[in-house]
Amino acid sequence: MPITVVGSIAYDAVKTPFGERERMLGGAAVHFALAASFFEDVRVVGPVGDDFGEPQLDVMRSRGVDVSDIERVSGGKTFFWRGEYGWDLNSRETLDTQLGVFDGFQPKLSERSRTSEVLFLANIVPDLQIEVREQLPHARFVALDSMNLWIDIARDQLVRAIESVDCLILNDAELRQLTGKPNLVSAAREVLAWGARGNGSGADTSTAGQRGPSVIVAKQGEYGAALVTSESFFALPAYPLESVIDPTGAGDTFAGGFVGYIAAHPEEELSDELLRRAMAHGTALASFNVEEFGTERIERLTGEEIAARVEELREITHFSGAPLKLRA
């Protein structure tokens, strides 16, 4: 099923303890699209300024990404983010954010982008997410990402946006903040209840078209990710790397692998089994993303490398049962 993604297309300036880049291709929609392109057709919707180059578009084109709905705003400047990471990459400071063409952006989706059966609403202002969601009323699977800023200043709109999708993908701390529940499982169950509230019945991961999310993915950074549905829980550690260079875009790359894998299985129902395999592919993609700056590693990634890493993830999480008579 083709995928439409709406979100930021950006230039990032990033400094980590292991190096820096002054102006590299970034943005949630870009990281997502490159990852998802290993699985399905991807159409990117978002604005750029006059300063956005053909080489950057070519990075996406070379992975078969449809960039025709990337709107070039005449006289505008591309979204810009500058950040710096601390010693162990677990903390990051935003030093500058310039909305540029995102200020006042109104998404215009082509007919082609509106026919996608899968939609990813990357982290943008919730009202825009709702607007785009409404332009794809018949999408079979819609996932949404967000961030603490919108929980702080636009929580009501964000909750409305979340209630309109099938899957919420959020950092675990933000999931707690959003719900006011102190722990991951209770926070996820709270959002699942929003889903159930809409149609008056229990959330059911196998039923498309219900109101509100039936799938919650908590991103846990270096610790991996967890999946909560009304029936099941699954957690997968991050792939262990001896050297992490730049975490920027890891979450969106994860989402691209996760949503992409689901999109590549149109005949399969949204089972726990399918979702878990999607988690593994998202985790594998994210692990490559952080090995180098920005999109550098993903640009030359191969399908064989992804498949091999998914197998490694199986290996490093596997343990055998060995019944042992324990002492009373």
Contacts with a copy of itself by CB under 8 A lie at 17, 37-39, 64, 87-89, 176, 182-186, 189, 220, 222-224, 226, 228, 232-237, 240-244, 261, 264, 273, 276-277, 279-281, 302-304, 306-307, 310-311, 314, 316-328
Tokens 């039936």 locate to 214
Q: Which is nearer to a copy of itself, 200 or 326 (CB)?
A: 326
Q: What is the dihedral of CA 129, 135, 136, 141, to 10 degrees?
A: 10
Q: How far is the CB of 266 from a copy of itself (least distance, A)?
A: 13
Closest to a copy of itself by CB, 6 vs 284, is 284
Residue-wise DSSP of 238-298: PPP-S-----TTHHHHHHHHHHHHHHT-TTS---HHHHHHHHHHHHHHHHHHTTSSTTHHH
Which pairs from 191-197 meet CB under 8 Å and 24+ separation? 191/162, 191/216, 192/216, 192/228, 192/229, 192/230, 194/159, 194/162, 194/163, 195/163, 196/230
- Smallest distance from the beta carbon of 297 to a copy of itself, in angstroms? 16
CB of 39 to a copy of itself, least distance (A): 7
Q: Which is nearer to a copy of itself, 101 or 236 (CB)?
A: 236
* Cβ contact 120:37 at 8 Å: no
Which CB atom, from 137 or from 180, has the smaller least distance to a copy of itself? 180
Considering the complex, state which of residue 44 and residue 226 has its C-beta at the smaller distance from a copy of itself: 226
Q: Is 46 left (phi over 0), alpha (psi -120 to 50) or beta?
A: left
Smaller CB separation from a copy of itself, 68 or 186: 186
Q: Nearest approach, Cβ of 106 to a copy of itself (angstroms)?
A: 32
Rounded least distance, CB 262 to a copy of itself, Å:
11
Decide: 105 and 74 in contact? Cβ < 8 Å.
no
Rounded to the nearest whole angstrom, what is the least distance from the CB of residue 162 to a copy of itself in the complex? 20
Q: Which is nearer to a copy of itself, 38 or 120 (CB)?
A: 38
Q: Measured between alpha carbons, how far is 165 from 145 in angstroms, rounded to an integer?
A: 10
Residue type, 264: A
Burial of 90 (0-12, 13-18, 19+ CB in 10 A): exposed
Half-sphere exposure of 75 (CA within 13 A, CB side): 1
Task: Using DSSP, state whether 145 is helix, strand or coil.
Answer: strand
Smallest gap, in angstroms, from Cβ of residue 322 to a copy of itself? 5
Rg of the chain on CA atoms, in Å: 19
CB of 6 to a copy of itself, least distance (A): 22
Closer to a copy of itself at the Cβ: 111 or 327? 327
**Which of 48/246 has CB closer to a copy of itself?**
246
CA dihedral 143→39→242→251, nearest 10 degrees, is: -20
Residue whose token pair is 């967890």: 226
Nearest to 287 by CA among 321, 241, 319: 241
Question: Closest approach of Cβ 287 to a copy of itself, in Å?
Answer: 12
